[in-house]
Amino acid sequence: MANDSIWQCTRYAIDLHHPKVMGIVNVTPDSFSDGGQHADTAAVLRQCEQLLREGAHILDLGAESSRPGAAPLPVQQELERLLPVLREAVKLGVPISIDSYKSEVMQAALDLGADIINDIWALRQPGAQGVVVRHGACGVCLMHMHRDPKTMQLQTMQGDAVRQVGVFLRDRALDLEAAGVQRQRLMLDPGIGFGKSVEQNLQLLARQPELLALGYPVLVGWSRKSTLGAVTGLDVRERLVPSVSAALLSVQRGAAVVRVHDVQATVAALKLLQAVEAAATIGEKD
């Protein structure tokens, strides 16, 4: 198996020959689409188990909302929300990703056995890069964000978002490699919705192969995003079909991982896509 088909994480070498579904688990009362539904540890763990039954390959735990306009959460409060869930989640037999940008939270999570750091700030906050470098084995997802969650939609990016996002992600990845993080640990995320206009988000999907040309696997999170609402006119709770469609389009354009709320529907759609692609391959051989 080629190294470029592996995402090396703390306890797992994740095979990227086939796309992986990352199930979103919000341990928050204020997430934009499902915050508050899973407010206590037992309920969150039931949600984790449900997502695994639906076919999730990775679970992404987040205890601070990054919705537009969200205010930062104190470190201690984030730890109090996250760590009781994480202590049990690491026993579930799948890679566990931590959606956080705070070095203290990253360190505590890695100490408990978390496999992936998924950082909307791409390790630009104080101490974050050092935690990942010193750990030496965790997977890392570097995301592009324009400005910060509180202000990112007040004034969106200007110009060619695909080019700017590509330059940013390339530079961050090279910085990490120069600091000693192995290439196989890195995953890039264009940050759909994080300070981009509707048109820019659609361009990032249409021109996604340009990001693949950087030479790193790409993770994409379109699930329930406002751009889908702008295109379809659907409320956030009604965006199942466009969310699954966007995930499929991302995979068709080379995404290695899709981060989703609706795991069962996404997994079923990907199974169909893979079956069609396999049938096409058989036809070519004949």
Residues annotated catalytic, as ranges: 225, 259
Q: Which residue has the tokens 């956030």?
A: 236
How far is it, in rounded angstroms, from Cα 221 to Cα 261? Answer: 10
Count how many residues are written for the chain.
286
* Amino acid residing at 252: Q
Look up residue 47 and give its two tokens.
């949600």
**179 by DSSP, 3-state: which?**
coil
How far is it, in rounded angstroms, from Cα 211 to Cα 76? Answer: 36
User: Are residues 246 and 261 in contact, defined by beta-carbon separation less than 8 angstroms?
Assistant: no
How far is it, in rounded angstroms, from Cα 236 to Cα 226? Answer: 7
Name the DSSP letter for residue 96. E
Q: Which residues pair with 99 in a beta bridge?
A: 62, 118
User: Are residues 50 and 89 in contact, defined by beta-carbon separation less than 8 angstroms?
Assistant: no
**What is the DSSP code string of 212-242?**
HTTSS-BEE--TT-HHHHHHH---GGG-HHH
Rounded to a whole number, what is the largest CA-CA distance in the chain?
Answer: 61
Residue 44 CA to its chain's centroid (Å): 18
Nearest-CA neighbor of 246 among 220, 273, 210, 277?
A: 220
